[in-house]
A and B are shown apart, each in its own frame.
Chain A
């Protein structure tokens, strides 16, 4: 059974940085792509980034391109999202999700990021 557990959320000032982690069990990340998706308070779901199974090809939403980096550590079977130059509109619950092809078919429970001074 696939289990995805996010961590690393918290409160950070505008302009600051944060790294989110997504520890996977029941699935080997080298076999699957992985997404980050976020939900801001009172808003809908927003796709953030995708790392393909090859660990090389990466795709980003325009709203985070140049500021966020998706990566993984195969030895730890863990996905990351490095978030730099954070803005108040990055405040959201961040979810990681396993991708079959590009379909997000299994999701973690999320971690809350609050960007505030």
Chain B
């Protein structure tokens, strides 16, 4: 099983600032099949990034994903008030599919 560790657990920033979220895998993720999801309270998760760096349809270009192998990053270039939420990484390369524990992005 591929274990994903996200850091930090909580990130406190202000609108307009840059956010950098990390996701580290216990072993290399095949084909870099790594996704990022955003979830707000009471809502379903929303796909942001697939294949480590491909933005999903309709996702603002301030969201970008990078990395390969075991180290991945989600960057939000300039935080909008609507971006404050919980972010999860997920590997979808092998079963069992696994999620990281999440990073809560909160308003400072």
- Interface, chain A (partner B; CB < 8 A): 35, 37, 39, 44-47, 50, 59-62, 95, 101-110
Contacts and interface: CB of A to CB of B under 8 A. Distances in A.
A47 B90 contact: yes
Given A45-B102, A105-B47, A109-B44, A62 B96 contact: yes
A44 B44 contact: no
B35 A103 contact: yes
Interface residues on B, range: 20 to 34
A50 B97 contact: yes
Nearest to A58: B95
Nearest to A107: B44
A105 B44 CA distance: 11
Nearest to B35: A103
B62 interface: no
5 contacts: A44-B86, A45-B37, A50-B97, A106-B47, A107-B46
A6 to B, nearest CB: 10
Interface in B68-95: 86, 88, 90, 92-93, 95
B97 A44 contact: no
Interface string B30-53: 000101010100011111001000
A35 B92 CA distance: 11
A37 B92 CA distance: 13
Given A45-B37, A62-B96, A95-B45, A105 B56 contact: yes
A39 B47 CA distance: 16
Contact of B33 (A47, A59, A103, A106): A103
